[in-house]
Amino acid sequence: MKIGVKVMPRKEVLDTQGRAVENTLREHGQKLDRCTVGRYIVLDLPDADSEAAMARAKTMAETVLCNPLIETFELERL
Amino acid sequence: MSRRVGVLRFPGTNCDRDVWQAVEMAGDRPEWLWHADRFDAAAYDALYLPGGFSYGDYLRSGALAARAPAMRSVREAADRGVPVLGVCNGFQILTEARLLPGALVKNQSLRFNDDWVELEMKNPVPHFAGPVGPGARVRLPVAHADGRYYVEDDELKRLQDNGQIWFTYVKNPNGSVADIAGVKSEKGNVAALMPHPERAMRNWMGGSDGFAFFKGRG
């Protein structure tokens, strides 16, 4: 069972990379309000039960994949 | 009296030899501690977490190292009151391990910052930089990409009220909140800073202010 973990910066002020990418896109003549850079992690879990897999993915996100001081995360079944 | 000092090594640590040398120069006895192994938390008089790029900064700088087996022993040692010093990546590891408050994120400039900076001591950590007093300034090298210290406003206030800010930058090189260059734990035995004292041990290295960081009180 595959679960996607989307990790994003919690605040604009923490998204230094987003600001840089945004500027480059603007320099290329693109119009945009905001660009945010995060990361996407795919977990391939052996669990047959999807609820159990989600629960374990949540634990993994809370304990390792995401730092709650600076990031938020969302899970999705793939 | 010579202290028994553990120097932590993770895959990608690269200031370990420098720290080893600095510990020896201060008259103490360094020993390597390997990331994959637990160690006796009661066996060491102090622990040093050197700089580098542990695990290639994968996920977040310090994130994977913070979850290594050796860090469980570091936590036990910290709980017992053993002095723990983190430098650069060591600072990132200690925040990721929640042994110190806050987080270190990418420099505001997005550039790797390699320079000498001036620091001002705000609150003393008797175990490290003992000879330097509050208000005194030291000059040390920095070399980091993720050196911007970040905490929320309420946490910053708590650090200020508790006297947990160890050093601030005189001229902020990376966008750190409140110019913070180093902090200490509430109990005060765990401390860390982004600049590298082990790279400033002798005048021929460009300065010798780092020497004090490997000395305890007085």
Token digits for B88?
Answer: 């650069």
Domains and CATH numbers, chain B: 4-214 (3.40.50.880)
The interface predicted TM-score (ipTM) is 0.89
- Tell me the pLDDT of chain B averaged across its residues: 95
Shortest CA gap B98–chain A (Å): 10
Structure confidence at residue B184 (pLDDT): 98
B146 to chain A: which residues are within 8 Å by CB? none
Residue spans of the domains in chain A: they are 2-77
Nearest Cβ partner for A67 among B60, B107, B151: B60
Structure confidence at residue A5 (pLDDT): 98
Using only the alpha carbons of chain A, give its radius of gyration. 16
Quick: pLDDT tens for B153-188.
Answer: 999 999 999 999 999 999 999 999 999 999 999 999
**Assessment of whether the complete model's pTM goes beyond 0.90:** yes
Residue A49 burial by CB count (10 A; 0-12/13-18/19+): exposed, middle or buried? Answer: exposed
Q: Is the pLDDT assigned to residue B213 strictly greater than 70?
A: yes
Q: How far apart are the first and last CA of chain B?
A: 13
Nearest Cβ partner for B106 among A16, A63, A69: A16
B110 to chain A: which residues are within 8 Å by CB? 16-17, 20
Structure confidence at residue B218 (pLDDT): 38
CATH second-level architecture of A2-77? 2-Layer Sandwich (3.30)
CA closest to A68 among chain B residues: B103
Token digits for A15?
Answer: 């998204």
Task: Round to whole Å and give the CA distance between B215 and B218.
Answer: 8
Question: What backbone phi and psi angles, to 5 degrees, belong to A60?
Answer: -65, -40
Residues 6+ apart with CB under 8 A from B55: B10, B11, B12, B63, B64, B65
Mean pLDDT within B8-30: 96
Catalytic residue list contains B15: no
Mutate to test the interface with A, among B104, B105, B176 (most CBs of A within 10 A): B105
Calculate what percentage of chain B has a pLDDT beyond 90.
92
For residue B216, what pLDDT band results from cuts at 50, 70 and 90? low
Locate all alpha helices (DSSP H) within B82-150, ordered by sequence: 89-96
